Structure 1
């Protein structure tokens, strides 16, 4: 296969993934922008806090506008603005809330018992040299630090260092525009008494969302417009590199078991085989998960590309009734690669021959192919991959879905038998093949490759059942 097609495919996948990420990010930003419309402050944090001391301190917020190149915006609140609401849990208790420079807070609460939320305790404006042990609050799960002290502080409302503050009965609210400095939020009782028990709610907004959302949307759209065509061209090129076989429309070529194109005599247009390759090693299966990591990485890329090509092919089928041949060959090649890796790995443990890195046909104990359809239903493309396939998808999930499925149990028994006896239980191999054959038939249907509805049965054994009226070969 030509390297250029691989390069186009990989570049297309990576750029498309970036585009999707930016598009999703743009949608999140757009939602956040809508939530803060009309001057609203979307709630970003809400919690109940208690302190046995005289005050509750939030972690210091340090902001240096020069580091972001936003010094001109910092004074206008365009970078960010916060609204903090606090109310005392104790009825009729006046509550105080204020934001001030952390050094001033440290001086004010020096020698005063209080609670710090986060990672710093401030004593005389400096971090404590030997802070007490942190512990999780039983109510909030937030790390809290109790600072001991014996001094009773002066009334907080009488202090003149607050950047913003509010006090009184009921819910108190302050707004604060982000600006350069080292800031700390303080919650106290208005009379500076102890303990403090309050509900805290923080909302935030930024004027940067409007321009930022547009920029992210544009970047995501441009990435998709570039990445998807590259991906589709690369997949088509790889598909053309795979021989589709005979001119009669069969990708099987001269297979002696099926010398004719698919017709109603055939059990299914999917050819799915797997033959035990000697006796697998007793212990190699223990590290196969590690050995197949390179394959899994490539298959992750290929399956993403196959998702995009399937959507594109679905559109083509809807308007033309035909699956583009090059994309068809690519999709079948991905399934072929997947099955070879599964046969080597934990879908069958059927061979110790390392699977090749190719989408094309090779000499390997596990093979897969699908006969190319000359015509597909335009209407079925809208429903067969989800609605009509639901019964099969449910059964396949039970058969192969997880480690507790039938296939997972069979592979576990096979692996243990290999480890202790060195033998592969042949009866179980036939059942494994039947389970995998059912799953791949369903995948063939849901990927829009064929219109024939998969049969509800386990066709066990290493090869497909013989066509009606023909004796099985081999």
Structure 2
């Protein structure tokens, strides 16, 4: 005969808890390094792609845009090119800036020039001209500030302060080269577009281009550095995941009650909803419904208002789960190759990834995927006496062929259904379709969904009545159970296809209530 006892508000102390914390930190550190490396590889690849678009001597150019003013000149904002003397560059040159302009006025040749800003300001001090105040590249557009003046300036070709200039009809091109090892005078510079005769009214089709010489080498360095970081991070993740998986395999699979028995939920007034006794998740009958087990025991003494602040309280979990989600993705990829060559999911990696989902489910259950308890989730991958639990039976063998299609193609019907009632298609954090993305349930739904609406209704009822309606709770648990079953399948844990069935309630239903299944998952 079992005796009633209150559930502990804290996770029981486990042997080797400090060691597990260090291993968890190792996984998080590996995820941080690997994710940074992946971002660096992507950034380097982007630079390499941009460099390829430039070609050997080409430019990345804006679309051509017509600049038309009724003043004597168009001037650029003041450019501070600085003093490049002694600058060490990893490429042959820093690059070139190119300005192309074609007069839209018949038989009116253009002048393009670049000169120190102070000289340009003195030259145009008494002449009306238009200064570009801002430019947008895609689509190319310019905004002007018109400066007044009463005199026509002298023709620009008669001035001797231009550092570079070009004149003529047709397309004119002005190139400013930023060469390594060559001093560029310090100071501020201005580009000027005028008619050759300095007449009023300048109209030209203009395009700005750039060629940066160091993009290619910089991209290669970023890719190589990113790959190195990625490999180091993956190694740390793998070591931490293997050792954490071994810790789970060695013991500590379930927490114990006061008499040494695992905790079990019961419904009854006057207690926290738990008694000591055989845990319902300790195992399944041979004719189990599905190899994954999702449990959620409803807390009988929920606070009316605490749910309003749980989004703040779960922040530490969300941060950790972000990095664990990346580790989950890495481990799943490694497991994919292991299944391909051995038809087995490495047991220690299996235990680690199941633990990650278990952690995510506890946070989800505590917060906005269920709101089923006010007991704060423990920071552990292990099974505990927490009122929410997740587990999967380890498969001795898995199909090599199914790994190519079950995470996406075969799961499409389920993914569409899940997208409909979880809002995954609109950004919800329940996203079982691609475990490789590292997105796991964290209990926060960013998009409108049936599940989110039901939890909101339950929360409002709880706020005003202090009660969580049992039928509503059962439906919410059924929706979460469906999602976690699909995650079990798409995460490569099992080959049995998830049932199209909403099994409601805190516990997995009895096999006799829905029919038994064979080991392959097909109805008998």
* TM bracket (short chain): 0.7 to 0.9
* Aligned residue pairs, count: 447
Shift of 1:255: 5.7
Q: What are the equivalent positions in structure 2 for 1:14-163 lying under 5 Å apart?
A: 14-43=32-61, 47-65=65-83, 69-70=86-87, 78-90=93-105, 93-118=108-133, 144-163=144-163
Give the equivalent residue in structure 1 for 2:305: 283
Distance change in 2, residues 1:354/1:112 (3 Å): farther
- Tell me the distance in 2 between the aligned counterparts of 1:80 and 1:4: 48
Output one character per residue of 1:105-127: Cα deviation in whole Å (capped at 9) or x when no partner: 221221333333347xxxxxxxx
Work out the CA distance in 1 between the residues paired with 2:498 and 2:215: 50
Structure 2, unpaired ranges of 5+: 1-16, 179-183, 254-261, 264-276, 429-446, 516-524
SS, match of residue 462 in structure 2: helix
Which residue does the alignment assign to 2:473? Answer: 429
**C-alpha distance 241-116 of structure 1, shift in aligned 2 (>3 A):** farther
Q: Matches of residues 42-441 of structure 1 in structure 2 within 5 Å?
A: 42-43=60-61, 47-65=65-83, 69-70=86-87, 78-90=93-105, 93-118=108-133, 144-178=144-178, 179-181=184-186, 182-243=188-249, 257=280, 263=286, 265-401=287-423, 402=428, 403-441=447-485
TM-fit CA distance, 1:246: 11
Deviates more, 1:172-181 or 1:455-464: 172-181
Structure 1 portions without partners, runs of 5+: 120-134
Distance 1:240 1:151 in 2: 86
Corresponding position: 1:5 with 2:43? no
Q: 1:458 aligns with which of 494, 498, 502?
A: 502
Q: Distance in 2 between matches of 1:44 and 1:366?
A: 57
* Whole-angstrom CA distance in 2 between matches of 1:96 and 1:262: 88
Contact 1:274 1:433 in 2 (8 A): yes
3-state secondary structure, aligned to 1:186: strand
Secondary structure of 1:201 counterpart: strand
Deviations 1:312-368 (A, max 9, x none): 000000000000111111111111111111111111111111111111111112111
Provide the rounded CA distance (Å) in 2 between the counterparts of 1:399 and 1:359. 27
Could you give the per-residue CA deviations for residues 249-280 of structure 1, whole angstroms, max 9, x where no partner exists? xxx999654665575x2111111011221243
| CA shift digits 1:117-149 (9 cap, x unpaired) | 347xxxxxxxxxxxxxxx99xx96655433233
Task: Return closer, same or farther for 1:171/1:383 CA change in 2, 3 Å cut-off.
Answer: same
CA distance in 2, matches of 1:211, 1:440: 46
**Contact 2:420 2:450 survives alignment (8 Å):** yes
Q: 1:285·1:349 contact (CA, 8 Å) conserved in 2?
A: yes
**Does structure 2 retain, via aligned residues, the 8 Å contact 1:83–1:174?**
yes
Q: Indicate the SS of the match to 2:409.
A: helix
- Contact residue 48 and residue 140 of structure 1 kept, 8 A: no
Q: Deviations over 1:131-178 (max 9, x none)?
A: xxxx99xx9665543323333222223322222222333322121112
- Distance, in Å, in 2 between the alignment partners of 1:11 and 1:406 is 36
- The alpha-carbon distance between structure 1 residues 101 and 395, as it changes in their structure 2 partners (threshold 3 A), is same
Deviation at 1:87, TM superposition (A): 2.6
Do the aligned partners of residues 417 and 186 (structure 1) sit closer, same or farther apart at CA in structure 2, a change above 3 Å counting? farther
SS of 1:176's partner is: strand
Change in CA separation of 1:370 and 1:97 when aligned onto 2, cut-off 3 Å? same
SS at match of 1:286: helix
Contact 1:79–1:207 (Cα < 8 Å) also in 2: yes
Q: What is the rounded CA distance, in whole Å, between the counterparts of 2:250 and 2:220 in structure 1?
A: 45
Q: Secondary structure at the match of 2:99?
A: strand
Q: 1:193 to 1:365 in 2, by over 3 A?
A: farther
Relative to 1, partners in 2 of residues 1:392 and 1:88: Cα closer, same or farther, differing over 3 Å? farther
Q: 1:364 to 1:183 in 2, by over 3 A?
A: same
Q: Does the C-alpha gap of structure 1 residues 155 and 314 become closer, same or farther in structure 2, counting only changes over 3 Å?
A: same
Q: TM-score, normalised by structure 2?
A: 0.78
Question: CA–CA distance in 1 between the matches of 2:65 and 2:220?
Answer: 33
